Amino acid sequence: MRFGMEIPQKKLFKIEEILSILDENKISFKFYGDKTIEIFGMSHIKKIKRNTICYFESTNGLFEGDDVVFVCKNKEISKNCIIVEDPKMVFYLLSNLLNLKEKYYNRFIDPSCVLGKNVAIGESYISKGVRLGDNVVIGDGVFVGKNTIIDSNSSIGCLGISWTWNGDNKIFLNSYGQTKIGNNCVISSNVKIVRGIYTNDTVLGDSVFIAPGTAIGHSTIIEDKVHMANNCTIGGSCKIGEDSFLGCASVVASGASIGKNTILGAGCVVVPKQDLESSSVYVGIPAQKIKNLEKSYSLKSIPKRK
């Protein structure tokens, strides 16, 4: 997996503007730090970038960096902090109020691409030899690698649904992260892939095969040569190791990880934050290991390696 493309962003706001937005929305806060910092956008805690806003719910920890502003509960977290009672809620609120749709991307579609009927492509990069079926939707900030096929009615880089409470009201996260699809992938019909949460991208490696009906959550990483059968469901922030096979209707809940060269049986459920070993076979609810794998897949109906 090699993605050299960095998608640029506009300079959006100065700290004074952001604090005035909080004032207008009657959010109680205190600010500590440098009010001259320019903010490009928002960051995920797992991949903090310069000149962004990030949130941190814990009161422990220390983050270095003179040009990152944290929405948090404790001014000792960083040099620049917006101190609030509910950092997550305020971060979600800012994701809507800062109008991050104004971020821009370089739109490029290689002339060799084959596009079906009613294809919609946002400000994204579509590489050489890509084939898009009828009614495919490519959102903003998507990179599609060479010779990849995306079949009909699939949506790549769609908006996920993340929310938190503000009193009795739900506040939804407007996340405009990137989605990166590798080379020589085959993504079948009715597949949905959610965009990353800001700087924490959603990534598919090279030669990933996804059968119809599968849904992949935000900021999940699918490594090279993974094969997913029909109607799999992958939650947010998961990791699927290379050469793994996910059986029909298998579920990988948020934050779970699967090692390399591992098989999930049909209908298997990997529970939140469960960590599956490499070169293993798992079945059941929750996923339970039943055997080790050596050089070849050994379950019926799964092609053996030579």
Q: What is the pLDDT, as a whole number, of residue 233?
A: 98
Residue 4 pLDDT grade (very low, low, confident, very high; cuts 50, 70, 90): very low
Structural domain boundaries in the chain: 13-102, 107-219, 231-294
Output the pLDDT for position 2. Answer: 45
Question: Which pLDDT score is estimated for 37?
Answer: 87
Window from 141-145, 154-158, 291-295 with minimum mean pLDDT? 291-295
- Per-residue pLDDT, 297: 53
Query: What average pLDDT does the chain have?
Result: 89
Residue 95 reports pLDDT greater than 80 = yes
Residue labelled with tokens 């409470």: 165
Q: Sorting pLDDT into bands at 50, 70 and 90, what band is 38?
A: confident
Higher pLDDT, 299 or 273: 273
Q: Are 56 and 68 in contact (CB under 8 A)?
A: no
∠ Cα 294 291 252 (to 5°): 100
| Residue 64 parent element (H or E) | none
pLDDT for res 100? 57
pLDDT at 1 over 50: no
pLDDT band at 176 (very low <50, low <70, confident <90, very high): confident
CATH top-level class for 107-219? mainly beta
Fold category of 13-102 in CATH: 3.40.1390
Asked, colleague to colleague, whether 13-102 and 231-294 share their fold, the answer is no
Domain at 231-294, CATH class? mainly beta
Residue type, 283: V
Q: What is the pLDDT of residues 234-258, one digit of tens each?
A: 999 999 999 999 999 999 999 999 9
